[in-house]
Structure 1
Amino acid sequence: MANVPLASLSLTHVHYDPNDPISYFCAWLALVPQGLCVVYATLIWSTREIEILLMFGGQLACEALNFALKRILKEERPKQMHGKGYGMPSSHAQFVSFFSISSMLFMLFRHVPKKPTPSHTPLSMAARILLSGLALASAGLVAWSRTYLNYHTQKQVFVGIWAGAASAILWFIFTTIVRQIGLLFWVLDQPIARLFRMRDLVVEEDLCQSGWEKWEAKKATASEAVGKKTR
């Protein structure tokens, strides 16, 4: 085994300049797509929300598109890069572009929260615009880091951004049509969806607040029952 050459797992192996703090920070930014995949999986399992599953499906389709484009265009990475594989378009830029644009479209156009209650005020449109701006800025930072680390040229990053944005918009239109024609409701009524308790509440509810209100109601009921017993 001592004479067997070792290979690097490209999923997490990132080249950076150890003497440059910005380069080190960019190396961490390179892990954002993997982190977002963990977030996707966690939210899908914990909330069983079909909207999150749909977004993740679009994200995977966007990745498949990137895989195909790289092998069609076959443009090499910058000469300073020691890694393997084609560089056009940047998969990181395309990934975060899809995620940020999809999040923005959801918050600004699809999420219609219920009216405020005495215990809860939903996010205002101004707050949702601010969150959308933060998502776009974060995506831009990840995309920029790819040129700083010399993994991609500026053109490769820009093409990745536009490919991700176009994919997000087209996927949003597609899922909107699926909703409007009632296909999504039909899917949620199928045995496999019911088995996994899939639902579609996040479009109009704040899930954390919804759970909190149920908990408050349960405590009030329990307190009332205890009060009756002590009388």
Structure 2
Amino acid sequence: MDDYPPLASLSLTHVHYNPADRISYLCAWLALVPQGLCVVYATLIWSNREIEIMLMFAGQLSCEAVNWVLKRLIKEERPKEMHGKGYGMPSSHAQFVTFFSLTLTLFLLLRHQPHPTLTHTPFSFAQRAMLSLVSLLCAAAVASSRVYLSYHTPKQVLVGSAAGAVYAIFWFVFTSALRRTGWVDWALDTQIARLFRVRDLVMQEDLVDSGWVRYEERRLRRWADLGKKGI
């Protein structure tokens, strides 16, 4: 056995919690939300090829890069109760979920303009506001869980949330400028975008509704044809 090197642990989803505390157990699951959101990003990008989702994911990754730089500039340790590796200021979990929830909120309330003739069942503004509120509350729950599990101090979580919020606003303004100046349209017309069928529909169509009207028309035509055949 002495011939083998010591093994290391891949701690991507390794979370310390108190097994006797149900809230601690719940917080451990909340700690996995950023990884889950990355899976959601990848799935939506691959299945829908929406430029808006790609822009949001690019902002999410760059927000993580900012967090990496901030941690190494500030170099503040985690709470003494936590023996994990890495610096604690600002909280990357808090920054991640705040960026996601606020970016989604800005999109739903300011950028998303569902067209009644293109969308079968468009979300009303009130429904989009409610969805935004749920997203923000979930982000607050994830951020709070980091304090409960002693991975971060309240200050580290608050700074992480503030950094995520500031970057979300910056990214929304930046991508709005890209749209306004025509850079997004230019990118969509490039050969590589056309090759991968990148599209820009969720500005006016709900993501789950995209293609539904075409499917309904096809389904009704099929039933009409069967009716003509007496089936």
TM-score, scaled to structure 1: 0.94
Residues of 2 paired with 1:165 and 1:11: CA distance?
A: 24
Distance 2:226 2:117 in 1: 30
Q: Who is 1:18 aligned against?
A: 19
Amino acid at match of 2:39: V
RMSD: 1.8
- 2:122 maps to a residue whose letter is P
Equivalenced residue count is 230
Secondary structure, counterpart of 2:113 in structure 1 = coil
Unaligned runs of 5+ in 1: none
CA distance in 2, matches of 1:115, 1:166: 33
SS in 2 for 1:77: coil
Deviation of 1:225 (Å): 3.9
Q: Secondary structure at the match of 2:41?
A: helix
Q: Which residue of 1 aligns with 2:156?
A: 156
- Pairwise CA distance, 1:227: 4.7
Q: Name the residue aligned to 2:141.
A: 141
Equivalent positions of 1:1-231 (< 5 A) are 1=1, 4-115=5-116, 120-228=120-228
**Alignment gaps of 5+ in structure 2:** none
Percent sequence identity over aligned pairs: 64
Shift of 1:212: 2.0
**SS where residue 92 of structure 1 aligns?**
helix
SS in 1 for 2:78: coil
CA distance in 2, matches of 1:225, 1:116: 25
CA contact (8 A) 1:116 1:122 kept: no
Amino acid in structure 2 at the alignment position of 1:18? P
Shift of residue 8 of structure 1?
Answer: 2.1
Greater mean deviation of Cα atoms: 16-25 or 154-163: 16-25
Give the drift of 1:221. 2.5
What does the per-residue CA deviation read over 1:152-175, in whole Å, with 9 as the maximum and x for residues that have no partner? 001100000000000100000000
More deviation in 104-113 or 200-209? 200-209
Structure 1 residue runs of 4+, over 3 Å off?
1-6, 223-230
Q: 1:213 deviation in Å?
A: 1.4
1:208 Cα offset (Å): 2.7
